[in-house]
Structure 1
């Protein structure tokens, strides 16, 4: 059976993380993603640290299953080649700052002139309008402006903290991939090509509202989050390492007291109901921490599991590689890359029944597919060579010779 997006072509003008992650989701599901890059430079993540044989881990982990074409869009031949690729594409994705795509001749109308039904996607940082639209943007700035850093800090008056992963970038990538497939479905059902606009700021606000903005939901009855529920998280130290334990229901609370051999906690009026336990969360978590320090992580995980208490070990990045659950899920995949050697990556999280998954193609060297893609869209071999000689396009061999 074919992959879900087999037969669709994506013209990918994006760089860094949010856009490339979005298009990699589509590539993993069978779309032909043609990544357009600047000759001699390419996606900036190619230059990131942690490299082998000139290939960075960051680029490899966000660009597999794609083809790379190196075009100089300042050259009329390069721009013309891009438009011919766009004319054969179902989706055109760019994450330039608002206004830049129009200035370089690849705004929505310019692309729609050659591909009337194309799904045109604009990914921005702060949005296309307003005082921040033209500002440079990176993930921490979106965490700050969206309120995420304040939420991570715990309360309005406490020091804001960043989530220690680039959540806005990656979340925006997943939102974009879902929106693109929805637009393709709408077009297949008789609709026209749409312009999808996604900002990192909007993606994070939407993400937060489902659980963290209840205090701002009732118009006219907003509440300041002046006091955090607790600054004690659900990571506990044991005699040998860290574990996480989380209980919500009365049954889980009772099971916890059985597992920890502390039945007298059930007689404490501070913990009589779920509401009481929430009101006295610091006292409850401090008692739990004191008890868990008395034995090993292995001992407590066995007892907690035996009594049906939700729990898990806290794994380091190295430890997770060999954990039984990760192995059982077959979550990690090792493949060979023609340039970078043996790689370990995750499998796509969504798995489709009835589809045999083949090993992914590794992320391409810069310009690796320039000749093949231009031939696909009708360029003769001599015309391709003339474009290369003129500097309008480049191949991976040209890049390596610099």
Structure 2
């Protein structure tokens, strides 16, 4: 597979990707989109994400987390496979791993040993809850972090108080973005002093930080945890006669605009809603009253009038409708590419746009071991040595 993202801001950076499932692979995919040469190291059976659903080597989740990478298949239980990985790490800029804590040390690949071989290496360890502590031996997936971080409490049912999880792996993907940003920051630091460093990032840490600005506002000022807080409120999805829309009104000007559109001018000076703090404390009642009015009209009519009044609003799109939304089309957000064995697949383009060094989808997701021979050759292995590794079943390539 030809790597197309040669103009990205990370061109010339080589990343060894030892990660599986989502948090690590999405992190390294972001780096690949930005031009890095990402070498995905897989066992001969492949990343577990290849087998969660679908046919053959590819699932939608795998493709959408591993596009633009090169794959080498190594059996790390074989000494020669492990030696090959060490050689790759010695020539890399970044290593990203999300094994359970202690696994890398057992393999002889702990950060101090890799640092001795490659002082400039940026070594990234992604974990569920951290490297130490009472939960360190837990097996952790996204629902565990939604539960531990308070995220499920934020989504609690308004009537019963029952915590709820959202139906996407938000902890995994948020951690991936934090990790990719941390790698770039470490590369900047290395450009100044020539030294690599060890980045440790847990999904729990990422999600608590993610929640803090507003979801943990009650606990920000020490000693004021019991101050009056806004009552739990419904979400901002309103049913109309023909669908659903969302409407928000944070500022006084937006609230006045909303009241004008829905013909409720008396609410502007109502003591319950006169100020932003009052509207926040009485949010449930306010949203309920607004919803009663919006239910009497049609979505597009409301949206046109709300836009004219500069009130934040939008249709609530079903997932199947997102790709046809005019703003999504204008942003050229959805791209298509050929994925071997699957055919044409859709992908969201890299979100950040660089005017001089454009990021781009660097290519399809690789087959298991698709680039084994080429990567080993780049690491200095001869054709005979590569053949020996495969004979020993320490390495595997696409036949």
- Work out whether the TM-score is over 0.5: yes
SS at match of 2:215: coil
Selected match of 1:47 from 45, 48, 51: 51
Does residue 8 of the first structure (1) align with residue 22 of the second (2)?
A: no
Does residue 77 of the first structure (1) align with residue 45 of the second (2)?
A: no
User: d(CA) in 1 for partners of 2:292 and 2:224?
Assistant: 39
Whether contact under 8 Å (2:33, 2:361) holds in the other structure is no
SS at match of 1:127: coil
Question: C-alpha displacement at 1:233, in angstroms?
Answer: 1.1
2:319 matched residue in structure 1: 317
Does residue 351 of the first structure (1) align with residue 353 of the second (2)?
A: yes
Selected match of 1:33 from 20, 32, 38: 38
Whether contact under 8 Å (2:158, 2:232) holds in the other structure is no
Question: C-alpha displacement at 1:219, in angstroms?
Answer: 2.6
1:400 matched residue in structure 2: none
Question: C-alpha displacement at 1:156, in angstroms?
Answer: 12
User: d(CA) in 2 for partners of 1:59 and 1:359?
Assistant: 15
SS at match of 1:396: coil
Q: CA RMSD in A?
A: 1.9
SS at match of 2:168: coil
Which one is further off, 202-211 or 11-20? 202-211
User: d(CA) in 2 for partners of 1:215 and 1:137?
Assistant: 28
Question: C-alpha displacement at 1:238, in angstroms?
Answer: 0.1
TM-score by length of 2: 0.94
User: d(CA) in 1 for partners of 2:208 and 2:159?
Assistant: 17
Structure 1, residues 279-315: CA drift from partner, whole Å, max 9, x if none? Answer: 3222221121111111111111111112211100000
Question: C-alpha displacement at 1:278, in angstroms?
Answer: 2.3
Does residue 189 of the first structure (1) align with residue 192 of the second (2)?
A: yes
SS at match of 2:66: coil
The residue correspondences of 1:154-193 to structure 2 (distance < 5 A) are: 158-193=161-196
Does residue 302 of the first structure (1) align with residue 304 of the second (2)?
A: yes
Selected match of 1:328 from 323, 327, 330: 330
Which one is further off, 259-268 or 291-300? 259-268
Question: Structure 2 unaligned runs (5+)?
Answer: 1-5
Tell which has more relative contact order, 1 or 2 (C-alpha 8 A, sep 6+). 2
Structure 1, residues 344-375: CA drift from partner, whole Å, max 9, x if none? Answer: 00000011002355653101011100001001
User: d(CA) in 1 for partners of 2:159 and 2:97?
Assistant: 36
Distance 1:161 1:228, change over 3 A: farther
Selected match of 2:256 from 254, 257, 264: 254
Structure 1, residues 146-202: CA drift from partner, whole Å, max 9, x if none? Answer: 111112217898211112211111111111111111111101101411011001111
User: d(CA) in 1 for partners of 2:227 and 2:94?
Assistant: 43
Does residue 360 of the first structure (1) align with residue 365 of the second (2)?
A: no
User: d(CA) in 2 for partners of 1:108 and 1:87?
Assistant: 12
| Aligned residue pair count | 394
Question: C-alpha displacement at 1:77, in angstroms?
Answer: 0.8
1:290 matched residue in structure 2: 292
Whether contact under 8 Å (1:154, 1:228) holds in the other structure is no
